[in-house]
Structure formats: structure tokens, C-alpha cells
């Protein structure tokens, strides 16, 4: 287990310069961002950072003593590897505090060419046990691992106890039924793998249609969902679509909801997590502001007086309003039989 300084970092999403500022201004210890291409796993049009915004955003964070983590967490294909190489070179030039990587080949390139860069193993690397983490630490000198959201609280604790590096876990945000880094589901419909192109539902494949029976969403012309009048239409992904099974129509794989760890923050802190991460680089600056503020307050109260901590009702209400499906869950963390 890596020694903890008892300070759990709050890591917040920065999908744009306004979101970065919102995170820093409302209590983030660090933000994570990506470049405006497929080198990161949130490759949406209009999202992420070009050169000008990256320089300005990193300066804004560093001027306030905050950290910037850069996500280069997709898997480059051989014919395009130079693009990822250049991204790493630029990351070193920008003096980001760490680079979040998933691809072993890219890690090798980083360790050989930019040894001064601190490396974090992305959730896309899908390391769920001490042996996998030890492998990446031994061969690529990673300093931190971001755990996939498929482990129970007891499993997370076991990983932390045996991990040779710092452990970062998700504390709030949209959930996925798949194991991060191992999902190729949308590629069957779109022809593009989320792990190489950076998004599970490419914007060019997404369509919303108004019909006589209501709004419909499609992914590459495949019907994903139908919505009744007044019902919010979510971004179409295969895993969160509604399907007809027999005579029933329902969320066959996963119902939209968000992970919310407010009630178990003391448990996570006592386990020795190094950082709590908020999901949502694709979300708005308003989302980042609200979630960061709530999680900052909760984490501060939890760390100052864990025995008397309880989630603030107002904070829970705020997070429910910005949650998928306006509901929350502990997800895999809560497995009472373990």
C-alpha cells in the first residue's frame, strides 16, 4: 500500500476552458483534460482543448496551485501512432502534472522519451487487480491507477492494500455497464471502436427524429430509443437503449443512472484512496460547477470529522438533478454479500 498524506485529491472534468475554470474556482485539486482529437476518450465535436486553450487553461490552474492531468487514454493504431507521439511531446512541453495512458506501447514510448512525465494508468487500461497494477508499475513506472467502476468496496480496499501505486476511484458521474477499456459494443453499429476513435457514439452517427409517435434516437440508422411527449431524450448509446424483449420494452442492459458516493466517502477515505474522480468531460460548465462544489464540501467535512459525517440533503438533491435518469446508485461498490 502506498503511503497516504491523508489528503484525498478531488479530480474534476475539464471538457473545455470554461469547465476548467469552473472546476478550479469551485474547489478542484486537479482537472483532467484532453486534446481535440481521437487521442482522448471523449472525442466529441466542440469539446476538448486546442493549443491556445490548453496553454491558457494550464496556466490558470497552475497559477492557483492546482494540477492538470492530460488524458491520452485511447489505443493508437500503427498507421496513426505519430499523432499520439506528438501529443506526448506536447504534453511534456506544456508541463502537465501527469499523463493518463491506457496503451502499453504508448507507455513504453513515454518512459523512453519523456522520463520526467508522471504516468497514470487510465480506467481504460482496465486494471482491476494488484497483479495487473504491479505489471504496469514494474514495466512503465506508473504512479497511479484509476480503477474501473466494476469493483465492490471490499475489492477496492483489497487493491489499495496491495497496490504499489496510488489508487484513484470514481466518486460521481454516469455509469456504464461495461468494463472500461474492454467495450467494443458500439463498433458493431458505427464501425468505429470507442477505444481507438475516442467515443462510443460518434456524433456523425447520431440522429434524433421527430415522428408522429414521438421523438426517436438512432445510432447509424439503428433505432436506439423512442420517447414519450415531454420525456428527456438521452444521448444514444447501445448499452442504454430500450429494446423490445418478447412483448416488453425496457432497458435490457442498463438503465441510465449515475454513481454517487456521498454516503460512503468516509469508507473510501479510510481505505486510503489517493483521489476521488468526477466523471463528465462531455458535460456543461454548470454541471462541473455544481458537482465540484458539492463534492468539495462533502470531502472536506468527511476528512475533517469522518465519524460525524453525513451527506448534506441539499448536496444529494443537487447531484440528483444532474444525474442520468435523475437517480443515483452506489453501483458495484455496494455488494452486501461480500
Phi, psi of 204 (to 5 degrees): -65, -15
All 3 cell numbers of residue 227? 420517447
pLDDT of residue 280: 94
Q: Which of 103, 241, 101 has the alpha carbon at shortest distance from 177?
A: 241
List, for residues 242-290, the tens digit of each pLDDT value: 988 888 988 887 778 899 999 999 999 999 999 999 999 999 999 999 9
Predicted TM-score of the model (pTM): 0.93
Rounded Cα distance between 64 and 149, Å, is: 31
Which domains are delineated in the chain? 9-175+257-333 (3.20.20.70), 187-251 (no CATH)
Question: What percent of the chain shows pLDDT beyond 70?
Answer: 98
Q: What is the DSSP string of 237-298?
A: -GGG-EEEETTEEEESS----EEE-GGGHHHHHHHT-SEEEE--TTS-HHHHHHHHHHHHHH
Q: Please report the beta strands in the chain, taking only residues with DSSP state E, as ranges in sequence order.
A: 9-13, 30-33, 67-72, 98-101, 119-121, 144-146, 166-174, 206-211, 214-219, 222-227, 242-245, 248-251, 258-260, 275-278, 328-329
C-alpha cell at 305: 470529522
- Cα–Cα dist 11/251, whole Å: 31
Best CA proximity match to 83, nearest among 116, 36, 33: 36
The sign of the dihedral angle between the CA atoms of 283, 287, 293, 295 is negative
**Cell numbers linked to 244:** 423490445
| pLDDT tens digits for range 47-100 | 999 999 999 999 999 999 999 999 999 999 999 999 999 999 999 999 999 999
Q: What is the crossing angle of helices 130-140 and 104-113, to 10°? A: 30
Residue 17 has pLDDT above 80, yes or no: yes
Q: What pLDDT sits at residue 277?
A: 98
Amino acid at each position: 500500500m502506498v503511503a497516504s498524506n491523508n489528503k484525498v485529491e478531488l479530480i474534476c472534468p475539464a471538457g473545455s476552458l470554461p469547465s476548467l475554470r469552473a472546476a478550479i474556482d469551485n474547489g478542484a485539486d486537479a482537472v483532467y483534460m484532453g486534446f481535440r482529437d481521437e487521442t482522448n476518450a471523449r472525442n466529441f465535436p466542440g469539446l476538448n482543448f486546442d493549443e491556445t486553450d490548453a496553454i491558457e487553461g494550464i496556466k490558470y490552474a497552475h497559477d492557483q496551485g492546482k494540477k492538470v492531468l492530460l488524458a491520452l487514454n485511447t489505443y493508437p493504431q500503427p498507421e496513426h501512432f505519430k499523432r499520439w507521439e506528438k501529443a506526448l511531446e506536447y504534453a511534456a512541453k506544456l508541463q502537465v502534472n501527469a499523463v493518463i495512458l491506457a496503451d502499453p506501447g504508448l507507455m513504453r514510448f513515454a518512459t523512453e522519451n519523456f522520463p520526467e512525465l508522471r504516468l497514470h494508468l487510465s480506467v481504460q487500461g482496465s486494471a482491476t487487480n494488484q497483479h495487473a497494477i504491479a505489471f504496469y508499475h514494474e514495466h512503465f513506472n506508473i504512479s497511479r491507477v484509476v480503477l474501473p467502476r466494476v469493483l465492490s468496496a471490499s475489492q477496492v480496499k483489497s487493491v489499495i492494500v496491495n497496490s504499489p501505486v496510488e489508487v484513484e476511484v470514481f466518486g460521481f458521474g454516469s455509469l456504464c455497464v461495461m468494463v472500461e477499456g474492454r467495450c467494443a459494443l458500439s463498433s458493431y453499429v458505427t464501425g468505429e471502436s470507442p477505444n481507438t476513435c475516442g467515443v462510443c457514439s460518434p456524433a456523425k452517427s447520431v440522429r434524433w427524429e421527430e415522428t408522429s409517435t414521438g421523438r426517436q434516437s438512432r445510432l447509424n440508422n439503428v433505432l436506439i430509443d423512442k420517447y414519450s411527449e415531454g420525456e428527456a431524450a438521452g444521448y444514444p448509446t447501445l448499452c442504454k437503449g430500450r429494446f423490445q424483449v418478447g412483448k416488453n420494452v425496457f432497458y435490457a442492459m442498463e438503465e441510465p443512472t449515475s454513481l454517487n458516493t456521498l454516503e460512503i466517502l468516509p469508507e473510501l477515505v479510510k481505505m486510503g484512496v489517493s483521489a476521488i474522480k468526477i466523471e463528465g468531460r462531455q458535460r456543461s460548465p454548470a454541471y462541473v460547477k455544481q458537482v465540484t462544489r458539492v463534492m468539495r464540501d462533502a470531502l472536506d467535512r468527511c476528512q475533517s470529522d469522518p465519524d460525524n459525517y453525513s451527506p448534506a440533503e441539499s448536496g444529494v438533491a443537487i447531484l440528483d438533478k444532474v444525474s442520468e435518469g435523475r437517480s443515483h446508485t452506489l453501483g458495484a461498490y455496494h455488494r452486501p454479500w461480500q
